Structure 1
């Protein structure tokens, strides 16, 4: 995408001003929040009163400023669309914060329940280059302790790597690195997380002295989780885990005594160590893989009035929420960094995904000759090569953790309708129970929208328009950071989200 200083952008801007279409572009870009890749639709719609059948309004894309209806792309990835990803991060932030402090129809009492911040990582599949604290050497060894691997490559590295350097995350020896194990673990990482949630509940039931089937009558575990790529291309999970009381007590019901945050932390550490999954063979000679989480498990109690930039200190709920929301907008491409997206290491991970897909295709052909219903567990792994084999959601939560992202999006649409109606009629907005009305599960439908729309394309008409929209989104982000700094006395509490 060209920069604003590009002659092509300047020429396109001058051309729009000359032909009188600048205001139309500006209005359209503002309407979609300066989305980088909006979806263009053509067609028409009619809004009808559901009771009387009266036509309330009509709309045709030909009447739109640019002759088409532009809608947000909705992509959560920051490197694809800064505007939509920021909106997604804000929704995720509000969803997570509501689960730790209350609000958005979540009772304030939820803040009194034990809350933990959990990080689980992937195991090692071979030594990799990395950064070290205080700028230390990557893998230092004394001269009398420097050995070489079976392929003749050194098992040490005296260099000091910067963050984002191409070597960071790459193996010291690609021949020794277990790429097959890497991809298979990544493919089944969602299953490991599912088993961890089961094991935590099972362990909690044993600790409370109740049957696992009756745990919901005594306590419940609620969580919000995001996935993040490490430099080596492996996923690790961050999660806020909250201990509630009985499920029938509603969201945030008081936690059972005498359980507290420290008890829950010990319980989770034990559960992580017990979780294992035997992956199905990926190819004929595959000896099999017993998958587990890595040895690095961090479980910390969240307490108010502290900071997350102190590695040894307790965590602030709002800042942890911002941390999780920030990483929910990343993927394999953005997390790797602009200088590392095409490294030999990441390319080989993708190639391994495709190789396992080829093995799966051949096995599926053989097996379906005798079993037409056969489904191979790796049949889709090739389609996830661009995600380095990870097929899970980047942001998930338990059902009763807090408000849903869908409810927040629905509330935004309802607010726009209420604001538009206020502007049309001149009547002030009734703020009584406004939040409850915006977040209500059901809404009485008084109008019916009948439309006929066709897809006309994705993106702006020219790369210059896309550059202008992206630049405007960046300015809006900077303005949001400034407002956050002005609004909060201790603005560092939320800078993890706004950054």
Structure 2
């Protein structure tokens, strides 16, 4: 029970904490992290010395750094930064830049979307080719915000174990697809499969996105290079038509087989892609006819990058692993997705499928949301390293220090995360929103004729 005295003391502490000096300090920390809502606390020191050992600058105490979480539901600021990095990574592989030559725009390229198979009828909003609405299989017409869309019409007969098992093996299925695609390309080109690396190199970047039914599908940019990578011209026999033919054949023929022991029964499972596969050639922005069914490389980078920050936004599943069966019951999720989480947890009790418990909160999916082949473009590590170098040099220049004549020693250790007071978090959120609006206004201004 809080007494009047206790309440007054609490109000006084809050008032004292929100003094102008404290607000300035909180703002400075929040601005340094770009408005991160879950900053990492580092305690230690930073010392700058010249060649004689004389200390030019010494900073000690606690500093905040961005958490780096890609999920918008966890930290919008870091999610934005991740999306921007993903955009540059993807665009570099399509249009060049950041060490990737612009000649990649002349390579055979396509945009592929592949989905999971059907595991039972789900609520949807079908339309005709002319856009006329059709009733769902349940007989109703659903509006777009209907939470039933994507969920099982008849949960008792929906194959929840099959859907979760497919999800858990989706990453392996993608790997098998890339292997199959190289075989199909070699066959189409009339060369031996083992000789393919001497003639061409397959480069790609893919992003996973959850469908409303809780299963992932993959968006991928696929490019055909010469054997040395982006700077090497594609072989003479390579064109978009051949790449599209080989990709379609690879999607249709890729399958992986796993023998799994579930509940004491050993069963052979075959995993394949769904019947829906969308394959669209990519053209340079200045040459693409908007009516020819192709997609521009400039527009595609932003389109794919936004999925890199999306988790299961349609299913609202937790951002962290499930720790117990009781925790599943406490989740505020749709019954369809709860059933998938429960199925993953239950299947994870089997020795062959222990990983499913670790990834039950992801509905069984254990792959990375954005992956790429080595030669597709630059890496996140390179982008982040360049940003750190830029910030480091900017800090030294601001103090009038020549970075080539000093030694910088950093000694920090992790001592916490997040904000202790909701007032601090509110300030950080306001800073992020202000920065976001400024960026949007700048983009709108640049796009005006």
TM-score (norm 1): 0.78
Measured at CA, do residues 112 and 489 of structure 1 come closer, stay the same or move farther in structure 2, by a change above 3 Å? farther
Distance in structure 1 (CA, Å) of the matches to 2:347 and 2:306: 32
Measured at CA, do residues 398 and 103 of structure 1 come closer, stay the same or move farther in structure 2, by a change above 3 Å? same
| Residue in structure 2 matched with residue 242 of structure 1 by the alignment | 223
Measured at CA, do residues 201 and 422 of structure 1 come closer, stay the same or move farther in structure 2, by a change above 3 Å? same
Distance in structure 1 (CA, Å) of the matches to 2:197 and 2:363: 37
Task: Say how many residue pairs are matched.
Answer: 422
Aligned partners of 2:188 and 2:242 also within 8 Å: no
| C-alpha deviation, 1:471, in angstroms | 3.2
| Residue in structure 1 matched with residue 60 of structure 2 by the alignment | 60
The 3-state SS of whatever aligns with 1:415 is helix
Measured at CA, do residues 397 and 125 of structure 1 come closer, stay the same or move farther in structure 2, by a change above 3 Å? same
Distance in structure 2 (CA, Å) of the matches to 1:463 and 1:80: 15
After superposition, where does 1:223-262 map in structure 2 within 5 Å? 223-247=204-228, 250-262=229-241
After superposition, where does 1:454-465 map in structure 2 within 5 Å? 454-455=414-415, 457-465=416-424
Bigger Cα displacement from structure 2, 105-114 vs 156-165: 156-165
Distance in structure 2 (CA, Å) of the matches to 1:53 and 1:270: 65
Does residue 351 in structure 1 map to residue 342 in structure 2?
A: yes
| Residue in structure 2 matched with residue 275 of structure 1 by the alignment | 254
The 3-state SS of whatever aligns with 1:328 is helix
Does residue 300 in structure 1 map to residue 280 in structure 2?
A: yes
Per-residue displacement from partner, 1:32-57 (whole Å, max 9, x unpaired)? 000011112223343456x6555453
Does residue 194 in structure 1 map to residue 175 in structure 2?
A: yes
Aligned partners of 2:207 and 2:218 also within 8 Å: yes
| C-alpha deviation, 1:383, in angstroms | 1.1
Distance in structure 2 (CA, Å) of the matches to 1:223 and 1:166: 34
| C-alpha deviation, 1:388, in angstroms | 0.5
Does residue 35 in structure 1 map to residue 14 in structure 2?
A: no
Aligned partners of 1:114 and 1:260 also within 8 Å: yes
Aligned partners of 2:316 and 2:333 also within 8 Å: no
Measured at CA, do residues 52 and 277 of structure 1 come closer, stay the same or move farther in structure 2, by a change above 3 Å? farther
Does residue 322 in structure 1 map to residue 302 in structure 2?
A: yes
Aligned partners of 1:245 and 1:254 also within 8 Å: yes
Does residue 96 in structure 1 map to residue 90 in structure 2?
A: yes
| Residue in structure 1 matched with residue 162 of structure 2 by the alignment | 181
| C-alpha deviation, 1:480, in angstroms | 1.8
| Residue in structure 2 matched with residue 163 of structure 1 by the alignment | 144
Q: CA RMSD in A?
A: 2.8
Distance in structure 1 (CA, Å) of the matches to 2:258 and 2:395: 54
Distance in structure 1 (CA, Å) of the matches to 2:388 and 2:287: 35
Bigger Cα displacement from structure 2, 446-455 vs 109-118: 446-455
Distance in structure 2 (CA, Å) of the matches to 1:404 and 1:414: 15
| Residue in structure 2 matched with residue 106 of structure 1 by the alignment | 100
Does residue 129 in structure 1 map to residue 123 in structure 2?
A: yes
The 3-state SS of whatever aligns with 2:147 is coil
Question: Which of 370, 386, 395 is the equivalent residue of 1:420?
Answer: 395
Aligned partners of 1:120 and 1:236 also within 8 Å: yes
| Residue in structure 2 matched with residue 87 of structure 1 by the alignment | 81
| C-alpha deviation, 1:13, in angstroms | 8.9
Measured at CA, do residues 162 and 195 of structure 1 come closer, stay the same or move farther in structure 2, by a change above 3 Å? same
| Residue in structure 2 matched with residue 482 of structure 1 by the alignment | 441
Aligned partners of 2:40 and 2:414 also within 8 Å: no
| C-alpha deviation, 1:118, in angstroms | 0.3
Question: Which ranges in structure 2 are unaligned for 5 or more consecutive residues?
Answer: 1-10, 318-330
| Residue in structure 1 matched with residue 407 of structure 2 by the alignment | 447
Per-residue displacement from partner, 1:327-352 (whole Å, max 9, x unpaired)? 000112x24259x9600000010000
List 4+ stretches of structure 1 deviating above 6 A.
10-14, 306-312
| Residue in structure 1 matched with residue 185 of structure 2 by the alignment | 204
Aligned partners of 2:204 and 2:372 also within 8 Å: yes
Bigger Cα displacement from structure 2, 280-289 vs 68-77: 280-289
Distance in structure 2 (CA, Å) of the matches to 1:306 and 1:103: 17
Measured at CA, do residues 411 and 182 of structure 1 come closer, stay the same or move farther in structure 2, by a change above 3 Å? same
After superposition, where does 1:377-392 map in structure 2 within 5 Å? 378-392=353-367
Question: Which of 392, 395, 400 is the equivalent residue of 2:370?
Answer: 395
The 3-state SS of whatever aligns with 1:116 is strand
Measured at CA, do residues 55 and 448 of structure 1 come closer, stay the same or move farther in structure 2, by a change above 3 Å? same
Question: Which ranges in structure 1 are unaligned for 5 or more consecutive residues?
Answer: 1-9, 62-67, 140-155, 361-375, 430-443, 491-499
Aligned partners of 2:41 and 2:64 also within 8 Å: yes
